[in-house]
Amino acid sequence: MDPPMPTQPGAVLTSSPFGPFDPFAPCDLPGRFARIIDAEPVEIDAELEQVWKIMTGFDRYPEWNPMNRFFRLDAEARPGDTVTFGPVWGPYDLSEGAPLPEAGFTQNETLTVWEENCCLAYAVISRAFNAERVQHISRLENGKTRYHTFERTSGLLSPVVRKLYARRILEGFDANGLALKRRAESADRDRRVQI
């Protein structure tokens, strides 16, 4: 029997620095004080490929993404290369047409997973603190797409970081998921009208 595809339950993806994990039942990162900051999955009424195209259409993030106001690959889309992005830690006005905030700061991290039409992950990797944000999509039986994002943390500083920022991180993940849903469903409706 073939192993499950990375977009099906029971699948295993590999994070370049942290090893294998099941995106449907994420495990802790190696190290002390490991925990997961886990957002509720979002069901998106759009094709998986469309959702992936929006997730990785980094040039268009300023148009729709309330959490990461800009995002760029510093080299190739492959684990080990770096990414640069501009996060915002709220507050988020999720009403239609509300202006999006400016980036709060610039962050550089390492791309840890890039699985086409499946998973994008990147991380802070250090001796005292590791944090890997995972964004995973999968096709549901009803043809819709499941988007799930979570952050795996470990290291001596991780309890402090979670205490100070976990609520803001979850709010950002929720805002990002809702904005991705709106963008993908709108793009999918527009595409269907054109066909």
> Is residue 6 situated within a structural domain?
no
Q: Does the pTM of the predicted model rise above 0.85?
A: yes
**In whole angstroms, what is the distance from residue 128 CA to residue 31 CA?**
10
Structural domains of the chain, count = 1
CATH of the domain at 55: 3.30.530.20
pLDDT of residue 179: 96
What confidence tens digit (pLDDT) does each residue in 90-116 have?
A: 888 888 888 898 999 999 999 999 999
> Is residue 159 situated within a structural domain?
yes
What confidence tens digit (pLDDT) does each residue in 109-157 have?
A: 999 999 999 999 999 999 999 999 999 999 999 999 999 999 999 999 9
139 Cβ contact partners less than 8 Å away, ≥ 6 residues apart? 7, 48, 145, 146
* The amino acid at 181: K
> Is residue 8 situated within a structural domain?
no
Residue 2 has pLDDT above 70, yes or no: no
Q: What percent of the chain has pLDDT over 70?
A: 91
Phi, psi of 100 (to 5 degrees): -90, 145
pLDDT of residue 11: 77
Among candidates 159, 167, 124, which has minimal Cα distance to 35?
A: 159
**In whole angstroms, what is the distance from residue 169 CA to residue 90 CA?**
9
Among candidates 174, 194, 158, which has minimal Cα distance to 65?
A: 174
Mean pLDDT (the chain) is: 92
CB 182 within 8 A of CB 42: no
